[in-house]
Amino acid sequence: MIDAPRIAGYCVELTRSSVIYRFVNSRRRLRVLLVCRAIGASIWKGAAHRGIRRQIYAHEKGTAMKDIFLLDLDDTLFDFRRGEREQISDTLAHFGFSPTPRMAERFHEINDGLWKGLERGEVTRERLLTLRFDMLFAEFDLTGNAALLRRHYFEGMAQRAYLMDGAKEFLAALGTRGRRYAVTNGSAFVQSRRLAAAGIDKDFDAVFISEAVGYNKPSPAYADYVKSHIPDFDCSRAVWVGDSLTSDRGCAQAMGVDFILFRPGGRPAGYEGLLAQSYPQTLALIDGL
């Protein structure tokens, strides 16, 4: 096992083999060796902050360290449910309706169902964005212009960039381990603005938004696009973290990478794979892969 003394020893041996070492007297040699040992210990201490120790350990074990992180956004980094709930209530009120908690809950259920339909290819993105308001109107016997509500809702959601507690620290920790990539099925208009509003747009090496990519998660085409646009992509070094068993796990399987389900609420029925209920748990699972 490589540790601080061993690193220091490497520095000492390297110094002993150098030409300069041969031309100094014994007293100065001792001083040089002590300085080199101190430098070696300092290198090892600094390595803890750059993820280098993990690379050294992984190399000694003959395993690939995880250093390519594919991260879903909504309900993985962003508190999407909060933003959605607030914005649909704000939108309904803006157009003269009296929103209720039940309306917000039903909008979430309708919206979620349509996005899953998009994943299966049953509805287009353009149709989905308006249909969810038509369906809400029909269920609560409301009359209004769904296209206008869609626009107001869309513009408001772009500013509701609520990060989940600990998300920034989680991203920072991953940044010491490798490269971070956002993988999301959201709209380019909303997601790009929310990333900027939350101050995490610069934390990613690249952002793959399905609307901009031209393919939706979990299609093989989306997975292939992401793989082909990550330099030196290696499946054994990558891990996908997301909250969806359909879009996220499906994409991870299509790419052939490890998957961690992020669900603070607990393990869903029938799921036997890797589960994290917090960011520290996610990091621990990543370190164990």
Pick 80-157's CATH classification: 1.10.150.240, 3.30.420.40, 1.10.3720.10, 3.90.1640.10.
Answer: 1.10.150.240
Q: Is pTM beyond 0.85 here? A: no
> What is the per-residue pLDDT for 42?
62
| Cα dihedral 45, 47, 53, 59 in deg (nearest 10) | -130
Residues facing residue 179 across a β-bridge: 68
| Per-run averaged pLDDT (10 residues), the chain, 289 residues | 50 52 56 60 50 50 79 97 96 96 96 92 92 96 94 94 97 96 93 96 97 93 96 96 95 96 96 97 95
Are 144 and 97 within 8 A, CB to CB? yes
In order of 135, 141, 234, 286, the CA distances from 226 in angstroms are 34, 43, 12, 20
Domain ranges of the chain: 4-61, 68-78+163-288, 80-157
Q: What superfamily does domain 68-78+163-288 belong to in CATH?
A: HAD superfamily/HAD-like (3.40.50.1000)
DSSP state of 164: P
> What is the per-residue pLDDT for 12?
47
CA–CA separation, 75 and 21 (whole Å): 59
